[in-house]
Amino acid sequence: MDHSNYVIDQMISAKSIAARVEDLAAEISEKFADTDKLIVVGLLRGSFVFISDLVRELELPVEVDFLEASSYGNSTESSREVRILKDLRGEIEGRDVLVVEDIVDTGYTLTHVTNLLKSRNPKRLEVCALLDKPSRREVDIKATWTGFEIPDEFVVGYGIDYAQRNRNLPYIGKVRFLSE
């Protein structure tokens, strides 16, 4: 695949992301103040940078687990068919659970994952998404907490990729494809 056919324009700075992560962590810490341990479930792979920064800001006892779901592959469009590639290692029944997602787009992945996790009877299940694209929603689902609402743009950076590239950018950038 030729990766020279696009450029990335910064959309959300690293500084803005850091400030918003602090605010989100404060709100989440308040909501779960009575928990004995919060299980933070990161949806791989896009959320790994976000979850790492978020858990360091939480003022709660936390356990971290990961679930990997896929609906994109190497495409820029959701296939709407969600597959679980890696399941949780631990049990969540009767526990407080926070699902951490990088981006809520069509809503299919998040709906599939939250339904799967709810079937395991957690005490509470809430969702924190770094980015939300409400204009793309095809399923009625909304995160409890959202970092940033963005327009319908294909984005990369801060853990989010395009064909496994650009996850290491410290900011969120809009991918602009160049004319051939």
Residue pLDDT, tens place only, 95-111: 999 999 999 999 999 99
Q: Going by C-beta distance under 8 Å and a sequence separation of 6 or more, which residues neighbour residue 129?
A: 100, 101, 102, 103, 104, 110, 143, 145, 146, 147
Q: How far apart are CA 36 and CA 50, in angstroms?
A: 23
Which pTM was predicted?
A: 0.91
pLDDT above 90 as % of the chain? 81
Query: Is position 140 annotated as part of the catalytic site?
Result: no
- The answer to whether 116 touches 84, Cβ cutoff 8 Å, is yes
- The answer to whether 119 touches 171, Cβ cutoff 8 Å, is no
Give the E-state strand segments of the chain in sequence order. 6-12, 38-44, 62-70, 83-86, 96-104, 124-132, 145-149, 155-156, 172-177
Mean pLDDT of the chain: 92
User: Roughly how many angstroms between the first and final C-alpha of the chain, as a whole number?
Assistant: 14
Q: Look up the CATH number of domain 14-150.
A: 3.40.50.2020
**Residue 139 predicted with pLDDT over 70:** yes
Q: How far apart are CA 125 and CA 132, in angstroms?
A: 18
pLDDT of 2: 52
Estimate the crossing angle of helix 48-57 against helix 14-31, to 10 degrees: 60
**Residue 127 predicted with pLDDT over 50:** yes
Q: In terms of Cα–Cα distance, which of 64, 72, 69 is closest to 84?
A: 69
Q: Which amino acid is at 170?
A: P
Residue pLDDT, tens place only, 65-89: 999 987 755 555 555 678 888 999 9
Q: Annotated catalytic residue: which of 53, 96, 105, 132?
A: 105
Q: How far apart are CA 138 and CA 104, in angstroms?
A: 11
pLDDT of 42: 96
| Residue 167 to residues 45, 49, 129, 159, Cα–Cα distance (Å) | 9, 9, 16, 4
